């Protein structure tokens, strides 16, 4: 139902669209990690690790993981000995699984149920902020980028990892074939929510380019540092900086 629900909500308010997406992720949370590993063959983990490496997180870092899901990216930050991690997500079911995953992390971890447009953290609190495969689910990206800018201290680093449109036609064709045909079938069979896994390719297909994302972040005040392309353009990591 998620795909149809989302299509019906396109003309409705951002708040209503956010609730549809929140409900979808609450439903698929129990099988989310299993399907991520199965459908990506673990490649998504390598992308997250490389993105964390680019951020240079260390024992002095205070990290915001926005749209944290089940906590994969936060877990990578904890492995870099981050001093504190704020894991923020609108889905309570996802946060429950993130709590379990980070239960024994040495980093201080805090879990916050919130949308990206309204993050209940104080200004200048964090040295690093990150969002992996979640920015396309944010209904009002300018507001979210403004919030990320507010929460980061001067000199802070932002990383945005996301699926992005590809220039290479053959790779794009194979990727879309997999995303639009195979992924919904496997995802639907295991999660028993086929429409949720139809939403994923639809959300990627209609999403903006990495250049567009960069411009949106820059409009919020960020400075571009680096763009890292993965798997011939299947995914892209943008590294941005809050000006000193």
Residue positions forming the annotated binding site for S-adenosyl-L-methionine: 70, 89
The half-sphere exposure of 135 on its side-chain side, counting CA atoms within 13 A, is: 31
Query: Is 161 in contact with 233 (CB distance < 8 Å)?
Result: no
**Binding region:** 70, 89
């Amino acid at each position: 139902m998620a795909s149809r629900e989302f299509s019906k909500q396109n003309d409705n308010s951002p708040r209503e669209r956010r609730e549809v997406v929140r409900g979808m992720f609450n439903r698929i949370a129990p099988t989310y990690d299993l399907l991520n590993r199965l459908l990506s063959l673990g490649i998504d983990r390598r992308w997250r690790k490389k993105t964390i490496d680019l951020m240079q997180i260390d024992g002095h870092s205070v990290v915001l993981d926005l749209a944290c899901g089940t906590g994969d990216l936060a877990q990578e930050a904890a492995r870099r000995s981050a001093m504190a991690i704020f894991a923020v997500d609108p889905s309570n079911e996802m946060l429950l699984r993130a709590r379990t995953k980070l239960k024994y992390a040495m980093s201080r971890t805090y879990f916050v149920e919130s949308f990206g447009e309204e993050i209940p953290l104080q200004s200048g609190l964090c040295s690093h902020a990150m969002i992996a495969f979640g920015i396309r689910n944010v209904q009002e990206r300018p507001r979210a980028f403004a919030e990320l800018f507010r929460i980061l201290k001067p000199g802070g680093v932002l990383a945005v990892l996301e699926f992005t449109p590809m220039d290479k036609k053959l790779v794009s064709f194979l990727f879309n074939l997999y995303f639009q045909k195979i992924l919904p079938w496997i995802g639907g069979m295991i999660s028993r929510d086929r429409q949720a896994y139809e939403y994923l390719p639809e959300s990627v297909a209609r999403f903006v380019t990495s250049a567009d994302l960069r411009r949106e972040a820059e409009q919020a005040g960020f400075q571009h540092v680096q763009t890292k392309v993965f798997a011939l353009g299947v995914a892209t990591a943008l590294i941005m900086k809050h000006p000193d």
